[in-house]
Every structure is written in structure tokens, then in C-alpha cells.
């Protein structure tokens, strides 16, 4: 009888400990599915400065890239770290190709893509978005000695050779608005896009303002062409324009708790906060990114 009582007591204690442990996890991690281990796994190209890039050490707050001896840094890392600090999570960074980001989110192999993605309607059909965590502007970049350096509208870019990064609004919807544009093959990465311009393979590129600012910082012979707020700018409806300049964090469909946890952090930041953090990222990006 005593042996039976002891076994029952031990079982009860085990259940109690398990319950306490479960409550602690739920409390610490907000009860968010997939984050029970407290690790927030995010993916990015690690090649899209100033949003994200690869470096050889942990200087300036860089974090390790999983399954490599390299480190990731940039605006996306800065934002990811703020999200993790506020929620008590450990940050894990996975390097992925641009076209692999959304599929990875959908498959659940990562918790989120924090990679400078525009919050487009097409993407929103495949993933849910938290944010925005930055408000960008559509611009073009050319060489300072280019015949297009004094362009004041997209009409002045007519006939020029151009490109942008693959699977972006810049390539799919902006460049086709330029009359007679000689649109070249889309670049696989932002560095490849910039190199196409630097080597005069194209006359200009189309991207967002942060990428352009990072480009000019790395390549002083480049110049930003900003037509925003003028009649010569790229034309979209206000709704479409908003989704194309709002940069968001993509998560798996139905991840309401995760979206809320991320947004609770982003809601404490203003557009000025975002711009200040982006300026810091641009200031520390490695030359040539």
C-alpha cells in the first residue's frame, strides 16, 4: 500500500512539475507556436545592403549565420534584435536566396523573413505580414557622368538600358513604365544589380531609397535619381504605391500571435526611428556591398 501511495505521489509531483514548466514556456514565449524553444529563426539574403549583408566577424553587433563561419549585419539584423530582446527570444539567422524566402516561410522552416520585402498584394496572398518596419521610396540610380545623370523624370530615361533585382516591383512594374527602356535580364542579387551599373552594362537601375543610399555610399561615382512627389515619378494608385514602399516582415499564414508579438515592438517605433536606424546601417556597411 505504501509503495502504491509513493508511486502515486511521484506521478503527481511529475505532473505538477511538467505543468509548471509548460506555464513558464508559455509565459516566456507568449504561447506562440513554433517558438516554444525560444529561438526566433529568420531568413534573409545576407547580400542586400543596407538591409542585410555578410561580414567575416561580429563587428558592429553582427550575428552568426547558421551553418557558416560568417556573420550577418544590417538594418534587418538591427530590427530582428529589437524584436528578440523585447520578447525574450534568441535570434537565429539563416541565409537564403531571394526567391527562396517566401517558400521557406510557407514551409515553416523559418519563423519569418526579415529581408527588405515590400508588402505587396501578391505576397500577401502567400504569407502574412507584420509591420511595416520601414517606409521606402522608389528611385533610380545612375553613374554621375552618365547622360542620364540630370534626369528630372522617368521620361528623361527613355531608351536607356536598365535592370533591377529579380522578383521585385522595381523590375516588374517600374522599369516597364519607362518609354523605350531596354530592360536587361533581372539581377539575381542587389550586389549583382549594382555591379551591372558600375561596369556600364546598364545605364541605370531601379530600386528603393535605402538600397540606393547604400549604393552611393559604397560607389561614390553613382548618383540617385529621386522623382518622388513629381509628375515625372513612376505612376501607381495610392493603394498600390503604399504596398510597394511599405517594407514588412513575412510569416506563415495564420501566425496571428507571432504577427502581434512583432507588431507590439514595431508599434513603439516611429518613421523617424526607422530612418535613424537605417542611417546607422548605411554608415557601417562594408565598402563594396
CATH number at residue 153: 3.40.190.10
Q: How many CB atoms lie within 10 A of CB 97?
A: 14
Non-local (6+) Cβ contacts of 286 within 8 A are 49, 53, 55
β-pair type (161-163, 128-135): unpaired
Q: Domain check: are 108 and 148 in the same one? A: no
- Over residues 192-219, mean pLDDT: 96
Q: Domain check: are 176 and 124 in the same one? A: no
Higher pLDDT, 244 or 37: 37
Give the SS3 label for residue 207. strand
Q: Domain check: are 156 and 207 in the same one? A: yes
**Strand blocks (E) in the chain:** 39-44, 53-55, 63-64, 71-73, 90-95, 112-118, 128-135, 138-143, 161-163, 182-183, 204-208, 222-225, 246-251
**Strand blocks (E) in 177-276:** 182-183, 204-208, 222-225, 246-251
Non-local (6+) Cβ contacts of 167 within 8 A are 98, 99, 186
Q: Domain check: are 121 and 159 in the same one? A: no
Gap between the Cα atoms of 243 and 173, Å rounded: 13
Q: What is the CA radius of gyration of the chain?
A: 23
Residue 12 lies in a domain: no
Q: Domain check: are 193 and 271 in the same one? A: no
Range of the domain at 252: 34-135+247-284
Gap between the Cα atoms of 194 and 258, Å rounded: 35
- Side-chain half-sphere of 181: how many Cα atoms within 13 Å? 25
Q: Domain check: are 45 and 131 in the same one? A: yes
Gap between the Cα atoms of 28 and 30, Å rounded: 6
pLDDT at 288: 55
Residue 104 lies in a domain: yes
Give CA angle at 108 (268, 122), nearest 5°: 70
Q: Which of 224, 260, 189, 214 is nearest to 51 (CA)?
A: 214
Per the structure, the count of domains in the chain is: 2
Residue 241 lies in a domain: no
Residue 24 lies in a domain: no
Residue 101 lies in a domain: yes
Q: Domain check: are 112 and 251 in the same one? A: yes
pLDDT at 241: 66
**What is the share, in percent, of the chain residues with pLDDT greater than 70?**
88
Decide if 73 contacts 63 (C-beta within 8 A): yes
Gap between the Cα atoms of 213 and 216, Å rounded: 5
Give the SS3 label for residue 253. coil
Overall pTM surpassing 0.85 (yes/no): no
Q: Domain check: are 69 and 207 in the same one? A: no
- Over residues 149-166, mean pLDDT: 98
Q: Domain check: are 63 and 91 in the same one? A: yes
User: Position of cell 517558438?
Assistant: 35
Give the SS3 label for residue 246. strand
Q: Domain check: are 120 and 160 in the same one? A: no
pLDDT at 237: 77
Give the SS3 label for residue 238. helix
pLDDT band at 14 (very low <50, low <70, confident <90, very high): very low
Q: Domain check: are 120 and 159 in the same one? A: no
Decide if 50 contacts 190 (C-beta within 8 A): no
Q: Domain check: are 265 and 223 in the same one? A: no
pLDDT band at 23 (very low <50, low <70, confident <90, very high): very low
Residue 159 lies in a domain: yes
Residue 19 lies in a domain: no
Residues in the chain: 289
Amino acid at each position: 500500500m505504501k509503495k502504491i501511495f509513493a508511486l502515486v505521489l511521484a506521478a503527481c509531483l511529475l505532473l505538477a512539475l511538467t505543468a509548471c514548466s509548460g506555464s513558464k514556456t508559455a509565459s516566456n514565449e507568449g504561447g506562440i507556436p513554433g517558438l516554444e524553444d525560444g529561438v526566433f529563426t529568420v531568413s534573409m539574403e545576407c547580400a542586400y545592403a543596407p538591409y542585410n549583408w555578410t561580414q567575416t566577424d561580429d563587428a558592429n553587433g553582427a550575428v552568426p549565420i547558421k551553418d557558416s563561419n560568417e556573420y550577418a549585419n544590417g538594418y534587418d539584423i538591427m530590427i530582428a534584435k529589437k524584436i528578440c530582446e523585447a520578447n525574450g527570444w534568441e535570434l537565429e539567422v539563416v541565409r537564403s536566396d531571394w526567391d527562396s524566402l517566401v517558400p521557406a516561410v510557407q514551409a515553416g522552416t523559418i519563423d519569418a523573413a526579415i529581408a527588405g520585402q515590400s508588402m505587396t498584394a501578391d505576397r500577401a496572398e502567400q504569407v502574412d505580414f507584420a509591420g511595416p518596419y520601414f517606409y521606402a521610396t522608389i528611385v533610380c540610380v545612375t553613374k554621375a557622368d552618365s547622360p542620364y545623370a540630370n534626369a528630372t523624370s522617368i521620361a528623361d530615361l527613355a531608351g536607356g538600358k536598365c535592370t533591377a533585382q529579380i522578383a521585385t516591383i522595381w523590375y516588374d512594374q517600374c522599369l516597364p513604365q519607362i518609354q523605350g527602356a531596354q530592360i536587361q535580364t533581372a539581377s539575381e542579387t542587389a550586389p549583382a544589380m549594382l555591379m551591372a551599373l558600375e561596369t556600364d552594362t546598364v545605364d541605370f537601375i531601379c530600386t528603393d531609397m535605402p538600397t540606393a543610399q547604400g549604393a552611393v555610399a559604397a560607389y561614390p561615382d553613382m548618383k540617385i535619381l529621386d522623382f518622388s512627389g513629381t509628375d515625372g515619378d513612376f505612376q501607381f494608385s495610392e493603394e498600390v504605391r503604399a504596398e510597394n514602399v511599405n517594407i514588412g516582415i513575412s510569416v506563415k499564414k495564420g501566425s496571428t500571435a507571432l504577427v502581434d508579438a512583432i507588431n507590439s515592438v514595431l508599434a513603439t517605433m516611429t518613421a523617424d526611428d526607422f530612418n535613424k536606424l537605417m542611417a546607422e546601417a548605411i554608415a557601417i556597411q562594408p565598402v563594396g556591398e
